[in-house]
């Protein structure tokens, strides 16, 4: 995405990602979604979950309740593609700066805040998974 | 009776229901315009026949912090196939923030055949009405206009300063954290922030969102709006009022409410807003 400099081409890419969005499956979470999975400051009403894989990596799931949440859906797909299958300690180092790199000209203060908050939420979920993993190791 | 008329607004014709838009999609005298904060939205799907007016690329001067002038507006209107007789209908995301902003800019050029679709994009989507990715092209028109006239609807810095000195009413429509100065800007994105936090002295805090029914996304009834603005906040519809926010987009929403839904006689939008006032040397600020 960082290499796509043309604004309309970037927009097309982002929309194509949004088109691929699949909501969190019911075996992971059902409505009403728990508030502690809500992405703060996100006007698209996004939610996020991190589920540990057997190999210790994480799988991320999202829900976007606002039908106009195209950017949130695009970011959810990108985060899932790039971070699912990654170990939590690596996810915890991801910077919210990636939002500006991905969305470039298609960003404004309000929208950017929500999108960065999605990244922060994913990091928080990863850190929580790290501490739970450490606790389990200590108990073992 | 149209759904919007039942809410007894001062100028009910300026607001149209989604059902009205649905029955006027092919009306050659109507042009539906989508204006959003999220620039991806239009391309991802829009009301059939709607054109996209982007506030950054189409309404703003590319160099100065100002809006386009006569030539730019004529060019825009020509491109979207609008004549002086065309009724433009705005809608968009965020409960019509940017739709009202675009509506406001169009009023600076005197295109008074303008309306806003109540509930905006989200209401259209929730009603499961049709969206398309097809971008319809309209024949270019010859649109002529006078130079932009800011005097009626736009306030500038010096007028706002004098307004505060005369203790005339101001409305700050931002969030409480912005109003109190707790928040200056989004973390790591100071582009729309300020060096100082707080509000313009004397400004009443009436968040823009109070004008919206959160369940439907539509504007509240005139009775409800009267309760908020006149009863609760003691605004006088005969007084000169200036609304502001951060860059003028949320305050254009409130400007629309006060002027068209409640019939206030003299309302201006201070689009310099807090990004100007909060960075301005030696102007008064309250927290």
Q: What is the pLDDT of residues A11-38, one digit of tens each?
A: 899 999 999 999 999 999 999 999 999 9
**Cβ-defined contact of B40 to A106 (cutoff 8 Å):** yes
Q: Which residue has the higher pLDDT, A137 or B97?
A: B97
Chain B residue closest to A74 (CA)?
Answer: B40
Query: What pLDDT, on a 0 to 100 scale, did the predictor assign at position B1?
Result: 43
Q: Which residue has the higher pLDDT, A5 or B162?
A: B162
- Cα-atom radius of gyration of chain B, to the nearest Å? 18
Percent of chain A clearing pLDDT 90 (strictly above): 61
For B152-187, the pLDDT digits (tens) are 999 999 999 999 999 999 999 998 989 999 987 655
Contact (CB, 8 A) for B219 and B225: yes
Identify the CATH number of the domain defined by range B5-126.
3.40.250.10
**What are residue B33's DSSP bridge partners?**
B51, B90
Residue B252 has pLDDT above 60, yes or no: yes
Chain B residue closest to A43 (CA)?
Answer: B94
pLDDT band at residue A94 using 50, 70 and 90 as cut-offs = very high
Neighboring chain A residues of B38 at a CB cutoff of 8 Å: 68, 70-71, 106, 108, 111
Worst-scoring range by mean pLDDT, A88-102, B103-117, B144-158? A88-102
| Rounded-to-integer distance, Cα B53 and Cα A133, Å | 50
Phi, psi of B70 (to 5 degrees): -50, -50
Query: What pLDDT, on a 0 to 100 scale, did the predictor assign at position B189?
Result: 47
Task: Indicate if B157-277 has the same CATH topology as B5-126.
Answer: yes
Sign of the C-alpha dihedral, residues B97, B102, B103, B105? positive
Sign of the C-alpha dihedral, residues B211, B50, A72, A19? positive
Mean residue pLDDT across chain A:
88
The mean pLDDT of A124-139, rounded to a whole number, is 76
DSSP string, A76-106: HHHHHHHHTTB-HHHHTT--TTHHHHHHGGG
Residue spans per domain, chain A: 7-139
Query: Which residue in the set A11, A106, A112 is minimally distant from B189, CB to CB?
Result: A112
The mean pLDDT of A129-139, rounded to a whole number, is 70
Residue spans per domain, chain B: 5-126, 157-277
Residue B245 catalytic? yes
Query: What pLDDT, on a 0 to 100 scale, did the predictor assign at position B56?
Result: 83
**Cβ-defined contact of B37 to A108 (cutoff 8 Å):** yes
The mean pLDDT of A64-93, rounded to a whole number, is 93
Query: Which residue in the set B40, B94, B186 is minimally distant from A70, CB to CB?
Result: B40
Identify the CATH number of the domain defined by range A7-139.
3.90.1010.10
| Rounded-to-integer distance, Cα B139 and Cα A84, Å | 48
Q: From the CB of residue B277, how many other CB atoms can be counted at a distance below 10 Å? A: 24
H-run or E-run covering B267:
strand B266-270
Query: What pLDDT, on a 0 to 100 scale, did the predictor assign at position A3?
Result: 59
| Structural tokens at position B16 | 């149209």
Q: How many Å lie between the alpha carbon of B40 and the closest alpha carbon of chain A? A: 6
pLDDT band at residue B266 using 50, 70 and 90 as cut-offs = very high
| Structural tokens at position B224 | 């409800």
Q: How many Å lie between the alpha carbon of A17 and the closest alpha carbon of chain B? A: 11
**Cβ-defined contact of A70 to B39 (cutoff 8 Å):** no
Query: Which residue in the set A18, A67, A109 is minimally distant from B192, CB to CB?
Result: A109
- Residue appearing with tokens 């991802």: B44
Identify the CATH number of the domain defined by range B157-277.
3.40.250.10
Q: Cis omega (within 30 of 0) on the bond before A32?
A: yes
Contact (CB, 8 A) for B155 and B269: yes
Query: What pLDDT, on a 0 to 100 scale, did the predictor assign at position A20?
Result: 97
Query: What pLDDT, on a 0 to 100 scale, did the predictor assign at position B10?
Result: 96
Query: What pLDDT, on a 0 to 100 scale, did the predictor assign at position B188?
Result: 47
Q: How many Å lie between the alpha carbon of B129 and the closest alpha carbon of chain A? A: 12
| Structural tokens at position A98 | 């990636």
- With an 8 Å Cβ cutoff, the interface of chain B facing chain A consists of 37-41, 43-44, 93-94, 121-122, 125-126, 185-189, 191-192, 246
What is the DSSP secondary structure assignment for residue B55, as one 8-state letter?
I
| Rounded-to-integer distance, Cα B117 and Cα B101, Å | 13
What is the DSSP secondary structure assignment for residue B67, as one 8-state letter?
B
- CA B238 to chain centroid, in Å, comes to 21
| Rounded-to-integer distance, Cα B204 and Cα B173, Å | 8
Query: Which residue in the set B37, B39, B189 is minimally distant from A11, CB to CB?
Result: B39
Neighboring chain A residues of B126 at a CB cutoff of 8 Å: 67
**What are residue A86's DSSP bridge partners?**
A58
Residue B71 has pLDDT above 70, yes or no: yes
Residue A114 has pLDDT above 70, yes or no: yes
Residue B27 has pLDDT above 50, yes or no: yes
**Cβ-defined contact of B189 to A18 (cutoff 8 Å):** no
Query: What pLDDT, on a 0 to 100 scale, did the predictor assign at position B133?
Result: 96
Query: What pLDDT, on a 0 to 100 scale, did the predictor assign at position A76?
Result: 97
Residue B76 has pLDDT above 90, yes or no: yes
Q: Which residue has the higher pLDDT, A137 or B245?
A: B245
Mean residue pLDDT across chain B:
93
Active-site residue identified among B99, B173, B245, B267: B245
What is the DSSP secondary structure assignment for residue B279, as one 8-state letter?
T
Neighboring chain B residues of A113 at a CB cutoff of 8 Å: 186-187, 189
The mean pLDDT of B131-145, rounded to a whole number, is 96
Query: What pLDDT, on a 0 to 100 scale, did the predictor assign at position A5?
Result: 64
Query: What pLDDT, on a 0 to 100 scale, did the predictor assign at position B193?
Result: 72
Residue B73 has pLDDT above 70, yes or no: yes
**Cβ-defined contact of A70 to B37 (cutoff 8 Å):** no
């Amino acid at each position: 995405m960082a290499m796509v400099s043309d604004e309309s081409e970037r927009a097309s890419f982002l929309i194509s990602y949004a088109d691929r969005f699949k909501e969190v499956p019911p075996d992971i979470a059902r409505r009403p979604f728990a508030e502690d999975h809500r992405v703060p400051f996100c006007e698209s009403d996004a939610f996020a979950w991190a589920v540990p894989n057997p190999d210790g990596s994480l799988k991320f799931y999202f829900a976007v309740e606002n039908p106009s949440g195209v950017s949130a859906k695009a970011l959810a797909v990108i985060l899932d593609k790039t971070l699912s299958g990654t170990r939590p300690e690596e996810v915890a180092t991801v910077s919210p700066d990636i939002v500006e790199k991905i969305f470039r000209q298609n960003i404004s203060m309000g929208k950017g805040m929500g999108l960065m908050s999605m990244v922060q939420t994913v990091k928080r979920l990863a850190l929580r998974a790290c501490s739970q993993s450490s606790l389990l190791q200590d108990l073992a | 009776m149209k759904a919007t008329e039942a809410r007894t607004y001062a100028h009910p014709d300026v607001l149209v229901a989604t059902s009205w838009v649905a029955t006027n999609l092919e009306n050659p005298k109507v042009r539906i315009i989508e204006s959003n904060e999220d620039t991806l939205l239009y391309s991802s799907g829009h009301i059939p026949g709607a054109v996209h007016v982007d506030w950054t690329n189409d309404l703003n001067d590319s160099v100065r912090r100002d809006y386009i002038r006569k030539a730019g507006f004529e060019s825009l209107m020509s491109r979207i196939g609008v004549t002086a007789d065309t009724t433009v209908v705005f809608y968009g995301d965020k409960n019509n923030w940017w739709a009202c902003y675009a509506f406001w800019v169009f009023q600076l050029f005197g295109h008074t055949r303008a309306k806003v679709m109540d509930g905006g994009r989200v209401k259209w989507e929730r009603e499961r009405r049709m969206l398309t990715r097809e971008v319809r092209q309209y024949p270019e028109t010859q649109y002529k206009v006078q130079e932009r006239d800011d005097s009626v609807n736009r306030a500038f810095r010096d007028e706002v300063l004098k307004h505060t000195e005369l203790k005339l009413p101001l409305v700050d429509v931002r969030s409480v954290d912005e109003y109190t100065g707790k928040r200056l800007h989004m973390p790591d994105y100071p582009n729309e922030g300020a060096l100082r936090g707080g509000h313009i002295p004397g400004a009443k805090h009436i968040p823009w969102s109070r004008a919206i029914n959160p369940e439907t996304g539509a504007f509240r009834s005139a009775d409800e709006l009267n309760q908020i603005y006149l009863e609760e906040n003691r605004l006088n519809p005969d007084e000169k009022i200036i609304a502001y926010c951060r860059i003028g987009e949320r305050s254009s929403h409130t400007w629309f409410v006060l002027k068209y839904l409640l019939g206030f006689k003299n309302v201006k939008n201070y689009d310099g807003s807090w990004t100007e006032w909060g960075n301005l040397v030696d102007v008064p600020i309250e927290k």
